[in-house]
Structure 1
Amino acid sequence: MFTRLATRLAALLAVVALPLVGVSSAGAVENGPAPNGSNILGSGPYSVRTDGVSGWFVSGFGGGDIYRPSTGSNFGAVVFSPGFTATASMYSGLARRVASHGFVVLVIDTNTTLDQPDSRGRQILAGVDYLTRSWSGRSQIDTSRVAVAGHSMGGGGTLYAAENGGSNVKAAVALQPWHTDKTWYGVDVPTMIIGAQSDTIAPVSSHSERFYATLSGAPEKAYAELRLEDHLAANTDPDDQGALMVSWLKRYLDGDTRYSSVLCPLPSTVSSQLSEYRDTCPA
């Protein structure tokens, strides 16, 4: 606990001492067409294949499923953790959507479905290690471009992974996150938090909004609240949530500045489905 507190204090002091620097467009990857208020809402241009990952042949997490474009390479990668009692297959719609826009998505199964957020965060990082070092298809990804994501306790685990992943993690998206720890000053990657207005399991007032308020170390951050959606939004995969997640990953994992225009301001096709949105307006 002391070590973590010291790390967070150091990160907070660094933010005070140094100006925030936006993500450079140098080396940006543009996979797919330019975004607009319509095409970000649905599936992307890539056909998607799915590969199972057996828990018998990996270390640190329980296996899972990989969703990836059927052809092509130089894709960014995303490692996603399920929520409490959930399994990888319950996020197939969301994972397939993200992959269709030009990402390789590993949805892990956790060691047990009862694992707590920090354990899920460590398992996300084990998934990052597997995807970038051991996976037989890793030539399809740029191993320097990896994001972490998750839902519910997996969303809390996402914040843990973002804070502890070091240079291995470039961006984070937490969906309806749940965690008993409310302070995340040490997160130093662009981070989006998506809460749900009608969530009674992880109410935004005690989870998503409080997490967002402490992301002072993140170079960019955004908070979206899905109108009338509940805690299972990551499972039902509404279009506005998918559009936000894809746009964040495009902008901060791929460095695709074309997506700045659909994050700030949001197109009406997305903003009309939200009860709240705030961000630091990406450059």
Structure 2
Amino acid sequence: MRRHLAGATGAAAACLAALLLAPGATAAPATSSAALAANPYERGPAPTEASVQASRGPYAVSQTSVSSLAATGFGGGTIYYPTTTADGTFAAVAISPGFTATQSSIAWLGPRLASQGFVVFTIDTLTTMDQPDSRGRQLLAALDHLTQRSTVRGRVDATRLGVMGHSMGGGGTLEAAKSRPSLKAAIPLTGWNTDKTWPEISTPTLVIGADGDTIAPVATHSEPFYESLPASLDKAYLELNGASHFTPNTSDTTIGKYSLSWLKRFLDNDTRYEQFLCPLPRPSLTIEEYRGSCPLGS
């Protein structure tokens, strides 16, 4: 009896196949391999040169403040996030200011990056005099607050987190990446740290320096930071042309473009942005030098 049922089932399948292949028959839509391989973390439309240089992306942005009284392990800050919930959760990045500075010095990055599809936390540190190791711990504390206690924690994918920072906050970015290998991206901006070697870091890292930096000269900070990162790591070194230590404190198209592309590539695994990182950008009016590993993610 089982053989008869099996034979009937096979015959029915053959008839169905014949019907589908008959002239005039419309085949059922197939699930393409491209659709199966689609990246679930992509956010926003396909990028263009204009979109990665724009001061605002496709997402409307809201913001909420975190009081220092509500913060544990850091000094509070401001969370910028896409207003919509239709696209699911977003990757997140915490950003630290530099020595003697407050979050206002890096605030421009908040709405700029959030409008491209990230949750961004610009933080104040416990004191404006905190050193890089402390700032690194505070960046991690801010990410923990963001993913576990903040009012927008439901919008954040806690598996896709990154860190950025300016000056001593840039040094803190390296400290954070060293301490928490699960971070997906790190971007020190004209970073300062007495530790010059970072072979322990396994987080994809974009080091941004400035050719005119006299506070954290690239020869003794950004360049050795970059060169000491493992050769096998996805890494890049961008030296800004005609820039100073404080260039990251105001809106800057080059910093915005390459920071966005790095975060998209490694927080969102969005290979659509690799075109802006590989082949390596050439020197220009705004780029003194660019080094890096290409292709990325290999």
Question: What TM-score range do you get, normalising by the shorter chain?
Answer: 0.7 to 0.9
1:234 counterpart = 2:248? yes
Aligned twin of 1:225? 239
Return the letter of the residue paired with 2:76.
Answer: G
Matches within 5 A, 1:148-167: 148-167=163-182
Compute the displacement of 1:165 (Å): 1.2
Aligned twin of 1:83? 98
Deviations 1:14-33 (A, max 9, x none): xxxxxxxxxxx875521112
Matches within 5 A, 1:262-277: 262-265=276-279, 271-277=284-290
Deviations 1:233-253 (A, max 9, x none): 111121011000000000000
Return the letter of the residue paired with 1:45.
Answer: P
Return the letter of the residue paired with 2:51.
Answer: N
Matches within 5 A, 1:21-36: 27-36=39-48
Aligned twin of 1:193? 207
Compute the displacement of 1:68 (Å): 1.1
Aligned twin of 1:176? 190
Stretches of structure 1 lacking an aligned partner (at least 5 in a row): 1-24
Aligned twin of 2:4? none
Q: Percent identity?
A: 52
- Local SS of the residue matching 1:251: helix
CA contact 2:213–2:243 (8 Å) conserved in 1: yes
Compute the displacement of 1:34 (Å): 1.5
Aligned twin of 1:110? 125
Stretches of structure 2 lacking an aligned partner (at least 5 in a row): 1-36
Deviations 1:167-226 (A, max 9, x none): 2x1111110000000010111010001001111111111100010001117620000011
Return the letter of the residue paired with 2:217.
Answer: P
| Number of residues of Structure 1 aligned to a counterpart in Structure 2 | 257
1: CA distance, partners of 2:190 / 2:196? 14
Stretches of 4+ aligned residues off by more than 4 angstroms: 25-28
After superposition, the Cα gap between the structure-2 partners of 1:57 and 1:179, relative to the gap in structure 1 and judged at 3 Å, is: same
Return the letter of the residue paired with 1:134.
Answer: R
Deviations 1:35-61 (A, max 9, x none): 222210012111211211001011100
2: CA distance, partners of 1:104 / 1:271? 31
Deviations 1:120-157 (A, max 9, x none): 00101111111111112111111111001101000000
Matches within 5 A, 1:34-73: 34-42=46-54, 43-72=56-85, 73=88
After superposition, the Cα gap between the structure-2 partners of 1:175 and 1:83, relative to the gap in structure 1 and judged at 3 Å, is: same
Return the letter of the residue paired with 1:233.
Answer: T
Look at both structures and tell me which one has the larger radius of gyration over its CA atoms.
2
CA contact 1:121–1:160 (8 Å) conserved in 2: yes
1: CA distance, partners of 2:281 / 2:46? 14
Normalising by the residue count of structure 2, what TM-score does the alignment of the two structures yield?
Answer: 0.82
Residue of 159, 163, 166 corresponding to 1:144: 159
2: CA distance, partners of 1:188 / 1:230? 28
1:280 counterpart = 2:293? yes
Deviations 1:225-280 (A, max 9, x none): 11101111111121011000000000000000111111112567x95420000110
Return the letter of the residue paired with 1:252.
Answer: F
2: CA distance, partners of 1:154 / 1:102? 23
2: CA distance, partners of 1:254 / 1:130? 21
2: CA distance, partners of 1:196 / 1:161? 22
1:134 counterpart = 2:149? yes
Return the letter of the residue paired with 1:48.
Answer: V
Return the letter of the residue paired with 1:57.
Answer: A
1: CA distance, partners of 2:268 / 2:253? 21
